[in-house]
Structures are given as C-alpha cells and as structure tokens.
C-alpha cells in the first residue's frame, strides 16, 4: 500500500530523473595532459549550473582531434593543437583556445635517488636507446657526487597518439638533429627502445611499477603520484627542476600568433624549464544547436576565468592575462 510519504518520494525521484534527462550534456574528449583539470572544471561548473553536465574523456590528443573532426564530441582537446590540414577537414571550421599550460617531465624510479640531473646529450641518448645503463658516463658527468646504479635504463613512452609525445619530441628534435632524423616529431613515433603505456596514466603506472624506469609525463601526474622528476639542462646550460615557476618562465617569452598556436620549443631564459607547453580546446566555428552553443561557451568562459584558480593545485600553470584575453577573443568568434 502506498503511503503519502512513499508517493512523495516517488514523485521527487521522477522529478529528479526528468531534471537529469533534461540537463544539457556537453561532451569533450582528447588530451590526457590536461584531463584532471578539465574534469575538475566540469564538476565545479555543474555545482554552479546544475542544468549543464560536462563529460570529458581522457583519450589522448590524437583521438581527441579525430573525434572532433568526426563530430562525435562537442569539443576536442590537444596538446599539439591542430595542423592547417586538420583544420581544413573540420566540417564546421575550428577555433583553437589555449586553456591551460604545463610541463612535460622526466619521471624516474631510482630508489634512494631524488636529485637526478639529465643533460641535453643524455636526454637524447636515453630516448634514442644509445644510453642503456644508469651509470653511463654522460649521466655520471652531470651528477657529480652521486652514485648511480649499474642497472639497465627502462624507457617508458606513450603508445597512443599523444600531444605530450608531440611536445616532447618537438623539444628533442630541436636540440638534436640526430633525433630529428631518426625519430622525428609527431603525436605518435617509433621509439628505438622501451615499452609503451596508454595515456599519461599508463606511463605513470609503468614508472611506478618498475625500478630503473624513466618516462615522460605531464607534471601534474608526477606530482599527484609523488614521482621523482629529473632536473633537465636548458638552452642556457642550467639544470632546472620542473615547477610551476620554471614552467611559467618558459612561457613568458611566447608571443601567440593570430591562430593562437605556438610552443616554447627550447626557451632561452636561464630560469626556464625546457619542455613546457600550452594545451588547447578545439571548438567548431559554428554550432547548429543554439542552446548547446551557449552552454559550451559559458563553460569555456568559466574555465578561462574562475577555472584558472584550480590550475596550481593540480600541477598546471595558470594562463597569463594576455593569453586569457586572446583566448576570450577567439571564443567570441564561435557562433
């Protein structure tokens, strides 16, 4: 027998179900690099605007661009932005919005060693597979007073199409013609040595699981998982520890062009961490659904303003005001 209380509860549940069904759904997919931040934005924005639910899938930059071009998501995300050729394939055009920034770090697992330094030559040698032991002379030379183990170096890399790989290989190719010739720059490359993991999550897991492993991941993932990160030699010959401050120093000299696509491939500042990048949201130039358009633009506006306040706690570099201004101007062209 139904009591008034059960009838009321049933009515409330039905009403809640209807409200959930009527909530505007915004779907995004792409780079794993900024995923923790974008997913946090979705949660925080929903608290303010319960009628909008944002679902961001961390699938990698390559898949993000592909999903965006196929129209299966409302927005994509990529650390490699989009090429002119990819933009030309976008059925409704494409607008690239820099949304946050971060560093690609060399996370390693050497128990008892927390202050590893890696020179430019050693960095290239490790990922070309020519430096195979942790006590290789090139690593010993840049770590005076440190006893490096006589154990093999296990390299972990991204197995999926990855903007993190693009940013990392872009830097390696800039400092080594040999790397540029043998491996090149792309979201997916053939590495001479090592084992692959899917996403920043996969590489992080590989590093954590096996002593002697070194791999490239986004700074926030290394921070959240308490991984040790190497100090890398920059263009000025300084060994710089990855941090929000050294990452910001790398971005300081970047002047964004009209399409907002630029990277500090090998920054010159003595204070700059050498592998740092913006990461981009990919929006259509035109949307047919006016309600979804407004919800999406309001969400991105939130990310560029209030959302920046969550960047530091998750290991990302808040955008400079000048970049936010350009990003908002680009967002204004979406209709």
Three-state DSSP state, 283:
strand
> 120 and 193: one domain?
yes
Question: What tens digit of pLDDT does each residue of 64-80 get?
Answer: 999 999 999 999 999 99
- Tell me: pLDDT of 12 over 70: no
Closest CA to 108 of 156, 66, 76: 156
- Tell me: pLDDT of 83 over 90: yes
pLDDT of residue 40: 98
> Can you tell me the distance from the alpha carbon of 218 to that of 275, in angstroms, rounded to the nearest whole number?
10
**Domain encompassing residue 57:** 4-102+278-331
> 266 and 285: one domain?
no
- Tell me: pLDDT of 20 over 90: no
> 262 and 155: one domain?
yes
- Tell me: pLDDT of 6 over 60: no
> 180 and 250: one domain?
yes
Helix pair angle (290-304, 35-48), 10° resolution: 110
Question: Across the chain, what does the average pLDDT equal?
Answer: 93
Tell me the pairing of strands 154-158 and 195-197.
Answer: parallel
> 140 and 201: one domain?
yes
- Tell me: pLDDT of 313 over 50: yes
Confidence of residue 8 (pLDDT cuts 50, 70, 90): very low
CB neighbours (10 Å) of residue 24?
17
Segment 301-330 shows an average pLDDT of 96
Confidence of residue 4 (pLDDT cuts 50, 70, 90): very low
- Tell me: pLDDT of 9 over 50: no
- Tell me: pLDDT of 1 over 90: no
pLDDT of residue 253: 85
Confidence of residue 23 (pLDDT cuts 50, 70, 90): confident
Segment 49-56 shows an average pLDDT of 98
Widest CA span of the chain, in angstroms?
A: 82
Cβ partners under 8 Å of residue 34, min gap 6 = 77, 79, 99, 100, 102, 218, 279, 316
> 81 and 117: one domain?
no
- Tell me: pLDDT of 135 over 90: yes
pLDDT of residue 22: 72
pLDDT of residue 225: 94
How many folded domains does the chain comprise? 2
- Tell me: pLDDT of 13 over 60: no
> 219 and 294: one domain?
no
CATH number at residue 246: 3.40.190.10
Question: What tens digit of pLDDT does each residue of 245-303 get?
Answer: 999 999 998 999 999 999 999 999 999 999 999 999 999 999 999 999 999 999 999 99
pLDDT of residue 26: 98
> 109 and 163: one domain?
yes
pLDDT of residue 7: 44
> 226 and 123: one domain?
yes
Question: What tens digit of pLDDT does each residue of 87-124 get?
Answer: 999 999 999 999 999 999 999 999 999 999 999 999 99
> Can you tell me the distance from the alpha carbon of 42 to that of 50, in angstroms, rounded to the nearest whole number?
10
Edge-to-edge strand list for the sheet holding 117-118: 117-118, 231-233, 239-240
pLDDT of residue 3: 55
Cβ partners under 8 Å of residue 282, min gap 6 = 30, 64, 65, 68, 75, 76, 77, 78, 82, 94, 95, 96, 97
> 188 and 47: one domain?
no
**Would you give the distance in Å from CA 325 to the centre of its chain?**
21
């Amino acid at each position: 027998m139904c009591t008034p209380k059960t009838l009321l509860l049933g009515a409330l549940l039905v009403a809640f179900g209807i409200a959930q069904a009527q909530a505007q759904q915004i779907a995004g997919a792409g780079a794993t690099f900024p995923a923790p931040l974008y997913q946090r934005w979705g949660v925080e924005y929903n608290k303010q605007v319960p009628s909008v639910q944002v679902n961001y899938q961390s699938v990698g930059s390559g898949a993000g661009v592909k999903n965006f071009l196929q129209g299966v998501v409302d927005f994509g995300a990529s650390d490699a932005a989009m090429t002119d050729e990819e933009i030309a394939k976008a059925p409704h055009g494409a607008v690239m919005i820099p949304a946050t920034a971060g560093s690609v770090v060399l996370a390693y697992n050497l128990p008892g060693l927390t202050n590893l330094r890696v020179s430019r030559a050693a960095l290239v040698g490790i990922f070309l597979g020519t430096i195979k032991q942790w006590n290789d002379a090139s690593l010993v030379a840049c770590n005076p007073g440190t006893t490096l183990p006589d154990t093999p170096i296990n390299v972990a890399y991204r197995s999926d199409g990855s903007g993190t790989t693009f940013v990392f290989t872009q830097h390696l190719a800039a400092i080594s013609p040999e790397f540029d010739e043998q491996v090149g720059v792309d979201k997916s490359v053939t590495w001479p040595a090592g084992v692959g993991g899917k996403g920043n999550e996969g590489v992080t897991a590989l590093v954590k699981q096996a002593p002697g492993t070194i791999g490239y991941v986004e700074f926030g993932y290394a921070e959240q998982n308490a991984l040790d990160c190497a100090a890398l030699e920059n263009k000025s010959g300084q060994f710089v520890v990855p941090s929000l401050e050294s990452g910001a120093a790398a971005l300081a000299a970047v002047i964004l062009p009209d399409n907002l696509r630029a990277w500090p491939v090998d920054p010159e500042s003595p204070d700059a961490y050498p592998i740092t990048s913006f990461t981009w949201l990919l929006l259509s130039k035109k949307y047919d659904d006016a309600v979804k358009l407004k919800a999406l633009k309001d969400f991105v506006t939130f990310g560029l303003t209030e959302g920046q306040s969550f960047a530091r706690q998750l290991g990302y570099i808040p955008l400079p005001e000048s970049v936010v201004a350009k990003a908002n101007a680009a967002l204004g062209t979406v209709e």
